[in-house]
Structure 1
Amino acid sequence: MDAESPARPREAAEDWTIPQRWSDYTRAEHDTWDRLFARQTAMLSGRATPEFLAGLDVLRLSRPGIPDFAELSARLTDATGWSVVAVPGLVPEDVFFDHLANRRFVAGRFIRRPDQLDYLEEPDVFHDVFGHVPLLANPVFADYMQAYGEGGRRAGGLGSIGKLARLYWYTVEFGLIRDGDALRLYGAGIVSSFGESIFALDDPSPNRIAFDLKRVMRSRYRIDDYQQNYFVIDSFDDLLRQTLETDFAPLYAELETLSDLEPDTILPSDRVITRGTQAHARKDAR
């Protein structure tokens, strides 16, 4: 999703999809996927939400090499009616929302270089497929993503894309979920990142705060470093329920009257699970 509406490449169709051209991947590119996959799955056991780990199995993502989107989509469609389509990179917001609303997840087809294993500015096929797709095999989360896409189409007409983008960021990309007395990872930006998978659960620096829809949509976020606040949902069912039961038009109107919150803010009304030291952010600020 990109607010600057990039120009559509010549090779892309009207909906910005392109052929994956799976046969063009080199052995080195498949090896990069395998290295990333092995590293992440070894570390995520007991840390990622069980629904994510189940999705890896249902979709057979443990098979060697970069997944073929056609084969992956066949399994995903059987599970929840979703499919994966290749795009050239970031796509305009209206295109992104339309794909989600129609149960299509857009994924970049390129993979990072071996020297970029730990950080990549633009999402690649590992982030998009390993990070996002396993949870799309879960029926409740799949419904949430479709609802988000439908909400995005409405938000465009209300001039509120920026507020809604914060909901995506703090749930789909960087969300945490309760699992009994423990916290687990589910956000794609976390589960696809070796460093943030450790930081989000174990580091004393960030705040971990119970999810509240309006509060999240007031909250700015970091795009250049680990998050300073993580929001914790009780369950995917509750996240979907709040999304479907909320009338967003008056919520957007109310948000226009409220100030934005900085990425490290704790409000008196917050249910704070972990009050962080913010040591990581302060260190980087020096």
Structure 2
Amino acid sequence: MQRQHDHTTDTAYKTRRDEIATLSADLTPDDPIPVVEYTEREHELWRMVCAELATRHRTAAAAEYLESAEQLAIPLDHVPQLRDVSERMKSISGFRFQAAPALVPLKEFCGGLASSRFHSTQYLRHPGTPFYTEDPDMLHDLVGHGNILASDRFARLYRLAGEAASRVRSTEALQFVGKVFWFTLECGVVRERGERKAYGATLLSSCGELDHFRDTEIRPLNVASLVDVEYVISTYQSILFEADSMDQVEDTVSAFWSSCDDDSISALHHA
């Protein structure tokens, strides 16, 4: 299993990452997305990872993801400017990107989703571990989330997740809303024509996860059953939840996110 490179020991990488992150520090949602002048090494990393992912997506990605990605048409031969992808995505589904210096707190992240904004980084993963990263990076945010956010169906689901997280008050409820997001929009799988396909952003932006996900323990998608399941983001997933169709994904999570509150989530935990 490929583990995360400790980028804090790589001074050059840390300096470059901090340099890019600083561009988006203290921005408001209405501020323009900064332009980043990417290096040839960064363009090379982007090309390599995108080429490997594209090969796997042809057999492992859900049809709706592939159709949505074709609509968004993210460049595969160079690192695009986040503002350019954001403008195109907004014209398709109404969602747009907001530049973020790093992973943002769950409440803030979900608040953005409720307003059709997705917080995205602008730096790339460490070149020493190109095919798996536990940190969000621009490849994860664009290839994983951006591509599916060009789908009207998934844009609605992301908004519903954000509205649910903004509505609940307790830490327990917020964490459970986030857990449902994790096992669906981040790590969701679906059955298509008898085959297991990935639609979650974490799976679809990681060659390592795509090589691994069909060998994990697979359980039927059921929100109540998530109560007793723990997860870690620093390794490949050991348990995944599969829907019978994209319609089931939509029906299951939209029913939960559109109606959940602190009391209903507390009742799930104490059932």
Question: Which of 1, 17, 27 is residue 13 of structure 1 equivalent to?
Answer: 27
> Could you tell me how far 1:112 is from its partner in structure 2?
1.7
How big is each residue's C-alpha offset from its partner over 1:185-219, in whole Å with a ceiling of 9 and x where there is no partner?
11111111111101112x2xx21111001112432
Per mean C-alpha deviation after superposition, the further-off stretch among 138-147 and 148-157 is 148-157
- Cα distance, 1:143 vs structure 2: 0.6
* CA distance, structure 2, for counterparts of residue 40 and residue 158 of structure 1: 36
TM-score, normalised on structure 1?
0.79
Aligned to 1:68: 81
Match of 2:233 among 216, 219, 223: 223
State the shift of 1:95 in Å: 1.7
Of residues 205, 208, 223 in structure 2, which corresponds to 1:213?
Answer: 223
In the alignment, structure 1 segments of 5+ residues that lack a partner are 1-7, 259-286
Greater RCO (Cα-Cα under 8 Å, separation 6 or more): 2
CA gap of 1:128–1:73, structure 2 versus 1, over 3 A, is: same
Match of 2:8 in 1: none
- SS of residue in 2 equivalent to 1:231: strand
Aligned position for 1:248: 260
* 8 Å contact kept, 1:18–1:88: no
Query: What SS does the aligned partner of 2:197 have?
Result: strand
Instruction: Choose between structure 1 and 2: higher helix proportion.
Output: 2
Q: 2:56 aligns with which of 43, 50, 57?
A: 43
Paired residues of 2:132 and 2:209 also in contact (CA < 8 A): no
Following superposition, the deviation at residue 16 of structure 1 comes to 10
- Tell me which amino acid in the other structure corresponds to 2:266: A
1:220-251 Cα offsets, whole Å, 9 max, x none, are 11323221211012333332323333431243
Residues 18 and 96 (structure 1 numbering): CA distance in 2 closer, same or farther, change over 3 Å?
A: farther
Give the 5 Å matches for 1:109-258: 109-157=122-170, 159-201=172-214, 203=215, 206-246=216-256, 247-249=259-261, 250-258=263-271
Paired with 1:218 and 1:143, the residues of 2 have a C-alpha distance of 27
Cα distance in 1 between the residues matched to 2:232 and 2:30:
27
> 1:55 and 2:68 equivalent?
yes
Show CA shifts across 1:232-281 (max 9, x none): 123333323233334312431213315xxxxxxxxxxxxxxxxxxxxxxx
Match of 2:104, SS? coil
Q: Is the CA contact (8 Å cut-off) linking 1:12 and 1:18 kept in structure 2?
A: no
TM-score (norm 2): 0.83
Q: CA separation in 2, counterparts of 1:252 and 1:193?
A: 31
Aligned partners of 1:163 and 1:218 also within 8 Å:
no
Q: Find the aligned partners of 1:27 and 1:217 in 2 and give their Cα distance.
A: 45
The total of aligned residue pairs comes to: 247
State the SS of the aligned residue for 2:110.
helix
* Distance across 1 between alignment mates of 2:195 and 2:223: 21
Rate the CA distance shift 1:17–1:148 in 2: closer, same or farther, 3 A: farther
Unaligned runs of 5+ in 2: 1-20
CA contact (8 A) 2:222 2:252 kept: no
Question: Is the Cα–Cα contact under 8 Å of residues 30 and 66 in structure 1 kept in the other structure?
Answer: yes
